[in-house]
Amino acid sequence: MRSLRAVLTILGKDLRLRLRDRSAFVLGVGAPLVLGLILSQVVGDFGGGEFHATFAVVDRDGGEAAAGFPDVVRQVPGVTVRDNLTEAEARSAVDHGDLQAAFVIPEGFTDAVQAGRSTELVVVGNVDEGLMTQVATSIADRYAGTVDAVRLSVAIASPGGPPDPQLIAAAQAQPPPIQLVPLPAADRQLDSTTYLMAGLGVLFLFFLVQFGVIGLLEEQRGGTMARLLAAPIHPVAIPVAKALTSVVLGIMGLTVLAVVSSLFLGADWGDPLAAAVLIVAVVLASVSIVTLVVGIARTTEQANMVGSIIALVMGLLGGSFFPINRGFLTRLAVLTPHHWFLRGLGDGQAGGVGDVLGSVAALLGFAVVVGSAGAVLLVRGAWRR
Amino acid sequence: MSGDEAVVLDAAGLRKAFGDLVAVDGVDVRIAPGETYGLLGPNGAGKTTTISMIAGLLAPDAGHVTVDGLELTTRSVRAKVGIGLVPQDLAIYPDLTARENLAFFGKLYGLSRRELAGRISEVLRVIGLTDRADDLTREFSGGMKRRLNIGLGLLHRPKLLILDEPTVGVDPQSRNAILESVEELATAGMAVLYTTHYMEEAERLCDRVGIIDEGQIKAEGTRRELVALVGEGDRISLKASGDLEAAAATARHLDGVQSASARTDGAGAGIDVVARDARSLLPALLVSMHEVGTEVSGVEVTEPDLESVFLHLTGKALRD
């Protein structure tokens, strides 16, 4: 009972110190939020997640061949269509980044199609939105192909005569041979915002949890360890309290990041309970590594340096910045808590706790194996000397 | 102290080696309630290793420690309640206030919330920091930090207070305040173990002194016992005129005089006397000088100090 009280007393003191200097908040929440925000703007969507774009369709033709085009564009998942702009307005909006691209159907488009003459469908793109311009061009190509198929069908059905409007309508109503459809929800990957927030959150988690366990070496350097060891408490209560400080800081940091990124940045961490279980598991795994580092290190500087290297290497390997899809590295990635956390979040996007149990088991296994070695080293560690 | 007296601290046969280096070798320390024991030695003599074992920070390779009758190990909980430690290095949290520092360590010593509030106020008053209780200690001067460092050791009313060189790097005013506090605590019945390499502090505070060097207690006792142990007498220097040789011969016959000689160097002429106890000899000496017609115009008494004892015992100065 006395030892438990001592653990809670040291935990309370450490949390007070960490919250007072705000560095934990900056590292655990501020850094991943800011870096995630910047990276999501720089990298854009990379993960096969949901696609979002707004395109304008300017119909200067007004004929039958042009009338179906806005609906064709709308059929592309994730695309929003604005068809109430003039050509000048659309070009301006694209230039200013308010639209990702615009389609301009010129006057005489329908006549040209029906007469079998060459015509054009103009795609207005932004030099800064190269990917979106390519998407728009693909849509235009596809429509051109459809129009061509209709024209050919009608031409074959009524050779030499005027085009039959009913025949044209029937040909247009035929579904395209290939359609873009959203993948089933259960198989979805994380969208880029969620991926970056979660990935960077785990990356910085490894720095954040150092605040607790490395406190052992700081107590030694600051002279307070002698007073703690002279106090009437079991000596093991001290490292236990420090590890608990790491766990509490880690859970607080990732939870606040999840809530803030969900509320303000549109991140989707999936089922809250599943996300909470994953957060606890990944925090335990990260604390186990820091415990091992502090168990080996002799000074605070040494522990910080080794801890930072491990955090960065594991973060890169585990996919904190971007998914790793190369054979050898993919196999190494499974050795990192980051990989299992991100995978668990992906699995849990449309499911519940049951869908993330595999990842949770991997994380807890990691925590037990590494943490056991760390605990042995920590109890015998340099902080006692 | 005799073996029958009550003791708060009984450390016997303490030994500690770090690899091939024997830092402490067979040290015995016993301290009674209300007694201040000084462990006097130069840097590296083994003082801090000794008190680390006595405070339960370090397990001895041999020997044992009991505090207030309870066996002490690094894992003892009950025995450690009786110890207050003031480490040589400042052991306070700079980002906590003085009150928060006291509250934190008070809780670790098991003080109840009510008890804690009273003790914190009391200790803040004793160390003179009541007005700064709610300031972060990083804003304190060096002396204020030192006083708080001592206050943290006193908070739980220990039976044994261990102070490891508490005045290192402290300004004279704060040093005096610290020494006065230690004197008050001993008067109140606390046993104090005080390590220092400042001879004047040991002489002022300590009822008994253990002289430690190279991990061993070279000698132990009151200041007078230590001086007697090395056979050094007090020196009386009389500035005088008249028949100085006759006066010196007279002085040699007085009880307690070890030697007396005339000094005939003009303005500094007089008599040098070496005696067991200058203060008790002085009245008789002055009377005898008057009787032989020697006119005494000045008296200077020099008692041998611990510095000279230390030099005699170890062959080196305290600050080496």
Query: What tens digit of pLDDT does each residue of B282-309 get?
Result: 999 999 999 888 899 999 888 777 877 8
The 10 Å Cβ neighbour count of residue B99 is: 20
Higher pLDDT: A72 or B232? It is A72
Distance CA B256, CA A329 (A): 92
Q: Are residues A79 and A210 both part of a single domain?
A: no
Q: Are residues B64 and B212 both part of a single domain?
A: yes
Q: Are residues A327 and A292 both part of a single domain?
A: yes
CB contact under 8 A, B77 and A2: yes
Sign of CA dihedral A11, A13, A16, A17: negative
**A227 contacts in chain B (CB < 8 Å):** 85, 87, 91, 105, 152
Looking at the complex, report in whole angstroms how far the Cα of residue B79 sits from the nearest Cα belonging to chain A. Answer: 8
Buried b (16+ CB within 10 A) or exposed e, A150-179: bbebbeeeeeeeebeeeebeebbeeeeeee
Q: Are residues B191 and B285 both part of a single domain?
A: no
Q: Are residues B78 and B220 both part of a single domain?
A: yes
In the block, residue with structure tokens 């194996």: A369
CB contact under 8 A, B93 and A5: no
Q: Are residues B223 and B239 both part of a single domain?
A: no
Residues B93-114 pLDDT 10s: 999 999 999 999 999 999 998 8
Q: Are residues B106 and B221 both part of a single domain?
A: yes
Q: What is the pLDDT of residue A5?
A: 92
Distance CA A276, CA B259 (A): 89
CB contact under 8 A, A222 and B55: no
CB contact under 8 A, B108 and A17: no
Q: Are residues A204 and A297 both part of a single domain?
A: yes
Q: Are residues B176 and B83 both part of a single domain?
A: yes
Average pLDDT taken over every residue of chain B: 89
CB contact under 8 A, A2 and B110: yes
CB contact under 8 A, B91 and A224: yes
Q: Are residues B213 and B242 both part of a single domain?
A: no
Q: Are residues A239 and A308 both part of a single domain?
A: yes
User: A104: exposed, middle or buried (C-beta count within 10 Å: 0-12, 13-18, 19+)?
Assistant: buried
Q: Are residues A40 and A119 both part of a single domain?
A: no
Nearest chain B residue to A6 by CA: give it: B108
What does the pLDDT profile of chain A (385 residues) look like in tens digits?
778 899 999 999 999 998 888 887 787 778 888 877 777 766 655 444 456 788 999 988 888 888 888 888 888 877 888 888 888 999 988 888 888 889 998 888 888 887 777 788 888 887 666 677 778 888 888 788 777 666 666 666 555 556 666 666 665 555 554 444 443 433 446 777 888 889 988 998 998 888 888 888 889 888 899 999 999 999 889 999 999 999 999 999 899 889 988 888 888 888 999 999 999 999 999 999 999 998 888 888 888 899 889 989 998 888 888 777 666 777 888 899 999 999 898 888 877 888 899 999 999 999 999 999 988 888 776 555 5
Total domains in chain B come to 2
Quickly list H helices, A22-164: 23-25, 31-43, 64-67, 69-74, 87-95, 109-115, 130-157
CB contact under 8 A, B57 and A229: yes
> B139: Cβ–Cβ under 8 A, 6 or more apart, which residues?
none
Q: What's the token pair of residue B191?
A: 């046993």
Residue B241 lies in a domain: yes
Q: Are residues A220 and A332 both part of a single domain?
A: yes
Residues of B with CB under 8 A from a CB of A: 52, 55-57, 74-78, 80-81, 83, 85, 87, 89-96, 100, 104-105, 107-110, 152
**B85 contacts in chain A (CB < 8 Å):** 226-227, 230
Q: Are residues A224 and A347 both part of a single domain?
A: yes
Q: Are residues B14 and B129 both part of a single domain?
A: yes
Looking at the complex, report in whole angstroms how far the Cα of residue B77 sits from the nearest Cα belonging to chain A. Answer: 4
Residue B263 lies in a domain: yes
Q: Testing the interface with B: which of A11, A13, A227, A240 to mutate, by most B Cβ within 10 A?
A: A227
> Any bridge partners for residue B294, and if so which?
none
User: B189: exposed, middle or buried (C-beta count within 10 Å: 0-12, 13-18, 19+)?
Assistant: exposed
Residue numbers of the domain that contains A127? 53-181
Q: What is the pLDDT of residue A189?
A: 63
**B109 contacts in chain A (CB < 8 Å):** 231-232
Regarding beta strands A79-82 and A53-59, do their DSSP bridges make them parallel or antiparallel, or are they unpaired?
A: parallel
Q: Are residues A63 and A152 both part of a single domain?
A: yes
Q: What's the token pair of residue A105?
A: 């159907």
Residues of A with CB under 8 A from a CB of B: 2, 5-6, 9-10, 13, 16-17, 20-21, 222-224, 226-235
Q: What is the pLDDT of residue B140?
A: 93
CB contact under 8 A, A224 and B81: no
Q: Are residues B170 and B291 both part of a single domain?
A: no
Distance CA B234, CA B128 (A): 40
Q: Which of B309, B167, B94, B177 is nearest to A13 (CA)?
A: B94
Q: Which of B65, B29, B54, B68 is nearest to B190 (CA)?
A: B68
Residue B316 lies in a domain: no
Residue B240 lies in a domain: yes
CB contact under 8 A, A231 and B91: no
Q: Are residues A192 and A156 both part of a single domain?
A: no
The 10 Å Cβ neighbour count of residue A216 is: 27
CB contact under 8 A, A234 and B87: no
A235, B75 Cβ separation under 8 angstroms: yes
Does ipTM exceed 0.85? no
Residue type at A202?
A: V
> Any bridge partners for residue B83, and if so which?
B160
Q: What is the pLDDT of residue A47?
A: 45
Q: Are residues A344 and A224 both part of a single domain?
A: yes
Looking at the complex, report in whole angstroms how far the Cα of residue B210 sits from the nearest Cα belonging to chain A. Answer: 23
- Per the document, the length of chain A is 385
Total domains in chain A come to 2
Q: Are residues A366 and A257 both part of a single domain?
A: yes
Residue B85 lies in a domain: yes
Higher pLDDT: B142 or A185? It is B142
A53, A101 Cβ separation under 8 angstroms: yes
Residue B143 lies in a domain: yes
Nearest chain A residue to B18 by CA: give it: A385
Distance CA B203, CA B29 (A): 18
The 10 Å Cβ neighbour count of residue B163 is: 28
Looking at the complex, report in whole angstroms how far the Cα of residue A275 sits from the nearest Cα belonging to chain B. Answer: 34
Residue B181 lies in a domain: yes
Which of A181, A216, A247 is the last residue before a domain boundary?
A181
Residue numbers of the domain that contains B121? 9-228
CB contact under 8 A, B90 and A223: yes
Question: Domain with A101 in it: what CATH number?
Answer: 3.40.1710
Nearest-CB residue to A231 (from B80, B89, B94) = B80
Instruction: Return left, alpha or beta for A241; rule: phi > 0 is left, psi -120 to 50 is alpha, else beta.
Output: alpha
Distance CA B183, CA B230 (A): 28
Q: Are residues B222 and B238 both part of a single domain?
A: no
> B47: Cβ–Cβ under 8 A, 6 or more apart, which residues?
B39, B41, B164, B165, B195, B197, B212
Which of B194, B228, B262 is the last residue before a domain boundary?
B228
Which of B194, B209, B228 is the last residue before a domain boundary?
B228
Q: Are residues B133 and B264 both part of a single domain?
A: no
Q: Are residues B128 and B24 both part of a single domain?
A: yes
Question: Domain with B237 in it: what CATH number?
Answer: 3.30.70.920
CB contact under 8 A, A224 and B93: yes
Which of A181, A196, A223 is the last residue before a domain boundary?
A181
Which of A136, A157, A181 is the last residue before a domain boundary?
A181
Question: Domain with B212 in it: what CATH number?
Answer: 3.40.50.300
CB contact under 8 A, A232 and B81: yes
B225, B196 Cβ separation under 8 angstroms: no
Q: Are residues A115 and A243 both part of a single domain?
A: no
The 10 Å Cβ neighbour count of residue A34 is: 12
Residue B3 lies in a domain: no
